[in-house]
Structures are given as C-alpha cells and as structure tokens.
A and B are shown apart, each in its own frame.
Chain A
Amino acid sequence: MRRLLINKIILTLSTISALIGLAFLAWILVTLFVKGLSSFHFSLFVNDLIDNGLRNLIVGQFILAGMASVIGIPLGMVAGIYIREYGQGRYANLIRNLSDIMMSAPSIVIGAFVYAIIVVPTGHTSGFAGSIALAIMMIPIVISTTDSMLSLVPKELREAGIALGASKYKVIFDIVIKSAKVGIMTGILLAFARIVGETAPLLFTSQTSNYFTLDLTHAFPSLSVSIYDLASDVQTSSRDLAWAASFILTVMVLVINLTGKFITRNKK
C-alpha cells in the first residue's frame, strides 16, 4: 500500500513540474506569436531597418552566422576527430574538458574577449569581429557533437577497416565519419541554430546597422542586436518592430531545430 501511495505522489509531482515548465514555454510562445503577428507584415522582408523593415537584419544575421560556421565547423570537426580518434590519454582529455568549459562560458564574456582582441586594435566594430565571436561560441559545440557522435561508432567497424589493410586515416574518413554523418550533421545544424539567435557576442563586436551592407569590415546588421535596441526604444512603433523581429527570429531557430530533429528521426 505504502509503495503504491509513494508511487502516486511521485507521479503527480513530476507531472505537475512538467506542466509548469511547459506552461511557461507555451506562455512565451503565445505572447510572441500574438504580439509578433499583430505587427508582422510582409513588407518587413522587403524594406531595411531605416525604412522600418527587417530585410537587412535578417540577411545580416545569416551572413554573420554563416561566416561563423565557415570558421567554426571545420575547426570544430577536425578537433573533434582528433580527440576521439587520434588523441590519447591526458592531452585529449584536457582538450575535451576545456572545450566543455568553453561551451558553458557566458556568451557576453566571449563578446568582451573579441572586443578586446579585435575591436579595440582595429578601432571599430565589424562584421568579422561578430563572426569570430560567434565562431568561438560554435567551436566547442561542434567539437562535443563530433566527439560524441564518433564515440557511437562501434570499434568493430574501425577494426574491420584496419583488418582489410586500410590505414587509420582512410578508416576514419571512409568509414567512421560516414557512419556518424547524420549525427554530426544534426549536431552542426543545432549548433547553427544556437548561434543564429545570439545577441551578447555581437553586442559590441559587430553591433548592428540600419542599412543593407555586405561589407564585413564595418558595423554589420544583426537581427538580435537590433531587437535589443528596438525593445529599449521609447517609440511604440520601434517596440512593435522588435516583437515582429523576435517572432521571425524564433521561427527561424525553430525551423532549423526541427529540421535537425527530422533528419535524425528519418535515419532511424
């Protein structure tokens, strides 16, 4: 009897906790959708911020995240391959631990770091500085996914490759990475989703711009930084625009996340 009672209590408690968590998530999403949709208009995708649109910001955000991916994905993947396949003992573990610590580093600290090493010496904010800050955020995530996805590849598969006379690098590139491909791709997509909505690393590295530009050597339009600016503006119209921008950013991140989940599910 007593065990059954405890069982029921635990079940009720955990259900309530889960519901509370979900309720807040739903609340955020509903607020965002209601406020965002009421100020949403398709002209937002045509005009730049200077004309009360968001086109330059959306394009800019993707360019910043894309540049960060160009830097971060290869570096992170190669490092992940190193610590799982080549590194042995302490050294690989040290890198793995450092990378885990980096993953939980506050993003504002990364922004401050890039500000100190790039923005201050060059004298102004730039798209490059923003991309680098995002890349620094991305690298540990990519390292960790690559590492854990490679660890899921059974060692027999590696041995089977070696037993056919393949050299180690051939086994890694022909066999191991191929079998971990879907997992690594999903991880990279989630890492991209993670950085595409970041504000703090961009706040004083790329800043933002009201105009459309592709010039990465100067202040660069960023959706997330502009949301921050617009939301603290005195004008109601600016705050409405911030809601619309938040809505668009959330939808973008959601779509990327769901794509990642969809790829993994399809594989199984």
Chain B
Amino acid sequence: MPVMNIKKFSFTYPGVSDPSLKNITLPIKKNKITALIGPSGCGKSTLLRSMNRIHDLYPGNKYEGKIDLLDFESGKYKNILDIKKENEFIKLRQQVGMIFQKPTPFPMSIFDNVAYGLKIDGIKNKSELSDRVEAALKGSALWSEVSDRLGKSAMGLSGGQQQRLCIARAVAVKPEVLLFDEPTSALDPISTAAIEELIVELRNDISIAIVTHNMQQASRISDYTAFMYLGDLVEYDKTENIFLNPKEKRTEDYITGRFG
C-alpha cells in the first residue's frame, strides 16, 4: 500500500512558462525505499521538494494534479496540494520530514537540535523530551558518540555526524515519510556507508524517498527506482528490474553510462 500517491502531477516554477515536472504518476510505497535517479536538471529534486511542499517557502509556484498522503491516524488519503493554512503545513512537515544535501545542524546544542521538532510539536515534559531525544539518537546510530556531550554545540560534530544528527532530528518527530535530497553527496565514503546503513534500517518504521546522483547508491539501498529525464518520469519499477532489465531505451542508456 503506498503511503503517498503522486497522480498526474505537474510543477511550474515562478516566471517560467514550461513546467519542470510533467504529468508524473508515482507511488511511494510504505516501508520501502524509493530512489529517484536521473541526470542533473531532470526534476528529481523538484519532485522530492514537492512532497513536503518546501517549495512554498518561495511563492509563485504552480502545482497541478494530486499528491495524496495517507494519514495514519484516520487511515484516509489527503491531497497535500490543497493545503493552505499554516497549521496544516506544520502537520504536513511533521508527517513528511526532509534531509538535505549539506548537513544543516542548527546553531544550538546537540540535545536542542533533536528536541527542536518535538518542542514545536508541543512536548514540554522534560523527561519525555530526553527519552525521545535519546531514542532518536540511538535510532540514528549517534548515541554512543554524543551521549557524553549532549549539551555541547552541534557545530563541533564532523560532517557525517552532523548528517546523522539531522536524521535523528527528523526521526524524532516520528514522520510517516522521510525525504532525502542527495544526503551523502557532501560526505566521505565512510560516513556515506554509515548513512546508507542507517537509511536501510529506518525503512522498518518510515517510508523513504531518496534523490541520488549515485546509481550504485540507488541500486544498493533502494527497493524501487524511478528514472526521470527532462521533467518526465521515464520508468518506475523494482530496483533490480530497472538496473538489470530496463524496459525503456533511455533508462538503459542512462544506467549504462551512455549519457548523464
């Protein structure tokens, strides 16, 4: 069952006449990892950034079609493109978290970083906060490295640790979906391996969509892969089918490195 259903979705940036995404139909399946691959400028990040409507930080975008999100509480789908009110946006972003290319630790302590989303959610009870922070840090394989310096600034962590902290921060609010926008492209190979391992583990609780430039990464960690090109969704299938047995010529050309 998909947690998110993208249906005939088109997206146009402000001041541009042509849509950057054309008629995309794609499911994000529950407790699976969906990778979005394609050459630069194909629209994969644009699509990912539509899924929590972070685009709305910059006004004037045009959305068409539907992005239905399954609400776990009510068990019903809701089109996130209908959202207009601030409190609905807050709820959407608590349901659909996001990790960015560069680690984005906030200028505060490690504890406060992870507690930030929880405090927004209205959790004030100190013991509950510290329990949830601990659980999130353990879930992100960071606890053993930072448990003795939770009060220290998060800026002192290494790049890989910062990225895991950002994942802990997103996981703490218990989202349904987590969006990763090239989460390892700014990291060294060892940190990358740690993040990949973590993403695979997170799949047990959270549905994941990940944009990646790295095809090996997509084949290593994802269950489903969507290949995009020039704003179109060319092919979507199980990852092994995309990489071993693609149906479309363009997919085959891209994954064999004939263009990209």
Q: How far is the CB of A149 from chain B (nearest CB, A)?
A: 13
Q: Which residues of B contact A163 (CB under 8 A)?
A: 52, 54, 93, 97-98, 170
Stretch at the interface among B114-122, B202-210, B236-244: B114-122
Closest residue of A by beta carbon distance from B121: A165
Kindly list chain A residues whose C-beta atoms are within 8 Å of the C-beta of B106.
Answer: 157, 160-161, 174-175, 178-179
Chain A: interface size category: 20 to 34
Task: Tell me, yes or no, whether A158 is within 8 Å of chain B by CB.
Answer: yes
- Decide if B59 is an interface residue (CB 8 Å cutoff): yes
Report B147-189 residues with CB < 8 Å from chain A CB.
166, 169-170, 173
| B108, A170: Cβ atoms closer than 8 Å | no
Task: Determine whether the beta carbon of A156 is less than 8 Å from that of B121.
Answer: no
The reply to whether the CB of A164 lies closer than 8 angstroms to some CB of chain B is: yes
- Shortest distance between the CB of B99 and any CB in chain A (Å): 8
Contact call B117/A164, Cβ cutoff below 8 A: yes
CA distance A157 to B170 in the complex (A): 14
Q: If the complex has contacts A162-B57, A165-B90, A165-B120, are A156 and B104 also in contact, measured as CB distance less than 8 A? A: yes
A175-B107 contact, Cβ under 8 Å, with A165-B91, A165-B120: yes
B13 in contact (CB, < 8 A): no
Cβ–Cβ contact A165 & B100, under 8 A? no
Question: Which of A88, A164, A179 is the one whose CB lies under 8 Å from B120?
Answer: A164
A170 to B108 CA separation, bound complex (whole angstroms) = 14
Cβ 8 A contact of B100, one of A156, A174, A175: A156
A100 within 8 A of B: no
A160 touching B173 in the complex, CB below 8 Å, given contacts A165-B90, A165-B117, A174-B116: no
| B94 at the A interface (CB under 8 A) | yes
Assuming the contacts A164-B93, A165-B90, A175-B106, asked whether A159 and B57 have C-beta atoms less than 8 A apart, the reply is yes
* Closest residue of A by beta carbon distance from B106: A175
Contact B100 A160, beta carbon cutoff 8 Å: yes
Q: Give chain A residues whose Cβ lies under 8 Å from the Cβ of B102.
A: 154, 156
Using Cβ atoms and an 8 Å threshold, which residues of chain B touch A175? 106-107
Whole-angstrom distance between the alpha carbons of A158 and B104 in the complex?
9
The residue of chain A having its C-beta at the shortest distance from the C-beta of B57 within the complex is: A162
- Residues of chain B with a CB closer than 8 A to A170's CB: 120
In the bound assembly, the distance between CA atoms of A157 and B169 in angstroms comes to 13
Instruction: Using CB atoms, name the residue of chain B closest to A163.
Output: B98
Contacts of A164 in B (CB 8 A): 93-94, 97, 116-117, 120, 169-170, 173
B118 to chain A, nearest CB (A): 9
Query: Is B18 interfacial (CB 8 A cutoff)?
Result: no
Of A165, A167, A178, which is within 8 A of B107 by CB? A178
A175 and B105 alpha carbons, distance in the complex (Å):
10
With an 8 A cutoff between CB atoms, is B101 at the interface?
yes
The answer for the CA separation of A156 and B182 in the assembled complex, in Å, is 13
Return chain B residues, CB-CB under 8 Å to A158: 57
Chain A residues, Cβ within 8 Å of B86: 167
- Per-residue CB contact flags for chain B residues 37-78 toward chain A (1 = under 8 Å, else 0) read 000000000000000101001010000000000000000000
Q: Does A160 contact B107, Cβ atoms closer than 8 Å?
A: no
Complex contact B104–A157 (CB within 8 A): yes
- Minimum C-beta distance from B219 to chain A (A): 27
Q: Which of A149-202 contact B (CB under 8 A)?
A: 154, 156-167, 170, 174-175, 178-179, 181
Cα distance A202–B16 in the bound complex, in angstroms: 53
The residues in A between 78 and 129 inclusive whose CB is less than 8 angstroms from any CB of B are 88
Closest to B100 in A: A156
Say yes or no: A160-B166 contact (C-beta < 8 A), given A165-B120, A165-B121, A166-B120.
yes
- Select from chain B the residue with minimum beta-carbon distance to A175: B106
Query: Contact: A159 with B100, CB < 8 Å?
Result: yes
12 further interface pairs, Cβ-Cβ under 8 Å (given A154-B104, A165-B93, A166-B117): A159-B57, A159-B100, A160-B166, A161-B106, A163-B93, A164-B120, A164-B169, A165-B90, A165-B121, A166-B116, A174-B106, A175-B106
Which residues of B line the A interface, CB within 8 A? 52, 54, 57, 59, 86, 89-91, 93-94, 97-98, 100-102, 104, 106-108, 116-117, 120-121, 166, 169-170, 173
The contact sample of 11 A-B pairs, CB cut-off 8 A, is A156-B100, A157-B106, A159-B104, A160-B166, A162-B54, A163-B52, A164-B97, A164-B169, A165-B121, A178-B107, A181-B107
